[in-house]
């Protein structure tokens, strides 16, 4: 290959004009429907097995209960979250926030190293679209070519039947997914009630199911790959998360170019790409991976399978499209652990450590004690003074707790305003009022720091602190 030809290839490979418009939009701004061919090959088979594991987890998890409560619950309306059976309240927000930050750092690190491995292999959107809805579509309408023919054909009874069957199946699947999705928010027991009890009792629940079903149906029947290429924020972030050392699905242009239709006679100028477009035809986002890294690539590996099949057919080595880094393709460098990845790893280790400490020291029962607003102190006879307090307790356990309060760091008394222990229901909140009574001779300052111990069944649960206000009694004063 002479220099002029090599330059031409480089120019072609690095011609970025294709980035000026989306593959799924035509010149008139209309949607171009993607008819992706069914992939066949090793990666597709492994992804199918992974999807089965995903389905088992997604549809099975809501039924897993730990001590009578779900393993996971993300009840956003009531600000109640259960993660691995542990209840998190708004008061645990900082733990939740830190978990989110740790998760984001993990995503950044993972993406810097492995690109969009998550999108292609375990993202629910990709799995539901490619491994469920697309498979149903192939089953009802046939492969890509048959789907195109069906689209162009007149509205015969056969076409109406096929379209109706597909959309009914799509809606039913969306309805099932919506129910399970909702069970992650309200819990499977509440969902059972919505399903089994009269509609009038659960109007909100029914509306949510209908809304989610509609959204899922809209996404999988019509919006499809646009969820990844236009809406998904993770997809949009790829341009800043990836670098030239990240692992991506890449076309080896050094080996593939100059592409030319298959000829039995191979010359030195011809690359291994036989320009068969199989990699483009199977792509669910409609892109040509030979143009280079693109944000629309969800790393589904369909093009790897398609190209490997073609390479085997023409007796050339497989791996023309493969997992590699841009540097790997351009300079023959191996995937490596870069300085940026090391920095993220240190950050991740620190955050995980902090999170572990916070989780280990997290209290199952917590609360606040504050002096009743607008009240100073009350004199009790001639020898003591009292303050009135309000207490709010959160019980994150699954047992009701009757609480006894004890003064920990002063020889005073606590008198519950209602004359009985404060009851705190399981996974709920309790509140009450009480007096702290201190003898006059103990009050040496206007403001005293006191500790109130919370006891249940003779066992101390936690200690809360508060202030006591009183007059200063000096020896000789009344
Ligand atoms: S380019 Fe390949 S890996 Fe990327 S989305 Fe298309 S088929 Fe999947
Ligand atoms: S499938 Fe392989 S050989 Fe065919 S066009 Fe794509 S890269 Fe070239």
What pLDDT does 321 receive? Answer: 96
The whole-number average pLDDT for the span 121-132 is 96
CB-side exposure of 278: number of CA atoms within 13 Å?
Answer: 22
Give the ligand with the smallest distance to the CA of 320. Answer: 2
Ligand 2: lining residues by beta carbon, under 6 Å: 251, 256, 273-279, 290, 306-307, 310, 320-321
- Report CA(216)–ligand 1 centroid distance (Å): 23
Q: 106 alpha carbon to ligand 1 midpoint, in Å? A: 24
Contact 286, 23 (CB under 8 A): yes
**Residue 307 beta carbon below 6 angstroms from any ligand 1 atom:** no
pLDDT, residue 351, reads 87
Helix, strand, coil percentages for the chain (3-state, nearest 5): 45, 20, 35
Give the Cβ contact number of residue 226 at 10 Å.
Answer: 18
Euclidean distance between CA atoms 299 and 304, whole angstroms: 10
Q: What is the pLDDT of residue 473?
A: 60
Atom 8, ligand 2: residue with shortest CA distance: 273
Q: What angle do CA 409, 414, 416 make, to 5 degrees?
A: 150
User: For residue range 341-383, what is the model confidence (pLDDT) as tens digits?
Assistant: 788 888 889 988 988 888 877 777 888 898 888 888 888 888 8
Q: Which ligand is nearest to the CA of 296?
A: 1
Q: Which residue has the tokens 């393993």?
A: 71
Q: Distance between the two ends of the chain, CA-based, in angstroms?
A: 109
Higher pLDDT, 10 or 316: 316
Give the tens place of pLDDT for each residue, 145-177.
999 999 999 999 999 999 999 999 999 999 999
Would the pLDDT of 12 be above 60? no
Q: Is 299 in the pocket of ligand 1 (CB under 6 A)?
A: yes
pLDDT the model gives residue 478: 47
Query: In this predicted structure, what is the pLDDT of residue 181?
Result: 96
Question: What is the CA(320)–ligand 2 centre distance, in A?
Answer: 8
Q: How is residue 87 written in tokens?
A: 């209840």
* Atom 3 of ligand 1: nearest residue by CA position: 299
Reported as a single tens digit per residue, the pLDDT across 238-251 is 888 888 888 899 99
Burial of 287 (0-12, 13-18, 19+ CB in 10 A): buried
- Ligand 1 centre distance from Cα of residue 193 (Å): 43
What span, in angstroms and rounded, lies between the C-alpha atoms of 469 and 446? 6
Residue range 192-209: average pLDDT? 90
Residue 456: band (very low, low, confident or very high) from pLDDT cuts 50, 70, 90: confident
Atom of ligand 1 nearest to the CA of 306: 7
Residue written as token pair 């109130």: 452
**Atom from ligand 1 closest to the CA of residue 289:** 1
Mean pLDDT of 276-281: 96
Secondary structure class of 423 (helix, strand, coil): strand
Number of continuous H segments (helices) and E segments (strands) in the chain: 18, 16
Q: Among all ligands shown, which has an atom nearest to the Cα of 238?
A: 1
pLDDT-derived band of residue 15, with 50, 70 and 90 as boundaries? low
Please state, as a whole number, how many other Cβ atoms lie within 10 Å of the Cβ of residue 416.
16
- The pLDDT value recorded for residue 274 is 93
Please report which ligand is nearest the Cα atom of 120: 1
Global confidence as pTM: 0.78
Residue 282 alpha carbon to ligand 2 centre in Å: 11
Q: Distance between CA atoms of 147 and 27, rounded to whole angstroms?
A: 23
Pairing of strands 321-324, 248-251: antiparallel
Is ligand 1 within 6 A of the CB of residue 432? no
Question: Does the structure show a pLDDT above 70 at 476?
Answer: no
Residues 6+ apart with CB under 8 A from 114: 246, 247
């Amino acid at each position: 290959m002479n220099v002029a030809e090599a330059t031409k290839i480089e120019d072609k490979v690095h011609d970025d004009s294709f980035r000026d418009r989306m593959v799924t939009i035509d010149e008139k701004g209309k949607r171009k429907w993607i008819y992706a061919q069914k992939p066949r090959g090793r990666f597709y088979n492994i992804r199918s097995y992974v999807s089965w594991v995903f389905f088992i987890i997604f549809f099975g998890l809501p039924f897993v209960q730990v001590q009578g409560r779900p393993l996971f619950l993300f009840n956003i309306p009531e600000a109640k979250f259960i993660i691995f059976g542990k209840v998190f309240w708004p008061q645990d927000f900082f733990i939740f926030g830190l978990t989110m930050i740790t998760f984001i750092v993990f995503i950044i690190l993972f993406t810097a190293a492995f690109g969009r491995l998550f999108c292609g292999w375990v993202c629910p959107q990709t799995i539901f679209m490619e491994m469920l809805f697309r498979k149903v579509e192939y089953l009802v309408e046939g492969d890509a070519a048959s789907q195109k023919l069906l689209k162009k054909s007149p509205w015969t009874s056969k076409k109406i039947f096929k379209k109706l069957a597909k959309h009914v199946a799509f809606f039913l699947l969306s309805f099932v997914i919506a129910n399970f999705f909702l069970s992650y928010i309200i819990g499977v027991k509440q969902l059972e009630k919505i399903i089994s009890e009269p509609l009038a009792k659960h109007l909100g629940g029914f509306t949510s199911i209908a809304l989610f079903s509609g959204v899922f149906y809209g996404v999988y029947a019509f919006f499809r790959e646009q969820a990844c290429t236009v809406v998904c924020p993770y997809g949009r972030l790829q341009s800043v998360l990836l670098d030239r050392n990240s692992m991506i699905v890449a076309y080896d242009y050094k080996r593939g170019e100059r592409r030319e239709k298959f000829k039995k006679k191979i010359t030195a100028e011809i690359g291994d790409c036989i320009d068969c477009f199989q990699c483009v035809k199977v792509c669910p986002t409609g892109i040509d991976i030979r143009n280079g890294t693109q944000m629309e690539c969800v790393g589904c590996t369909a093009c790897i399978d398609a190209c490997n099949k073609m390479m085997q057919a023409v007796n050339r080595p497989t791996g023309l499209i493969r997992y590699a880094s841009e540097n790997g393709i351009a300079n023959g460098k191996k995937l490596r652990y870069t300085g940026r990845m090391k920095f993220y790893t240190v950050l991740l280790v620190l955050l995980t450590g902090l999170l572990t400490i916070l989780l280990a020291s997290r209290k199952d029962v917590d609360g606040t004690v504050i002096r009743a607003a607008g009240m100073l102190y009350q004199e009790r006879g001639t020898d003591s003074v009292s303050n009135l307090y309000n207490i709010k307790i959160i019980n994150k356990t699954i047992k009701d707790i009757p609480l006894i309060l004890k003064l920990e760091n002063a020889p005073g008394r606590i008198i519950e305003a209602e004359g009985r222990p404060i009851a705190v229901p399981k996974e709920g909140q309790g509140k009450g009022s009480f007096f702290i009574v201190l003898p006059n001779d103990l009050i040496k300052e206007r403001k005293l720091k006191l500790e109130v111990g919370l006891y249940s069944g003779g066992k101390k649960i936690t200690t809360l602190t508060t202030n006591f206000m009183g007059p200063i009694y000096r020896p000789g004063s009344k």
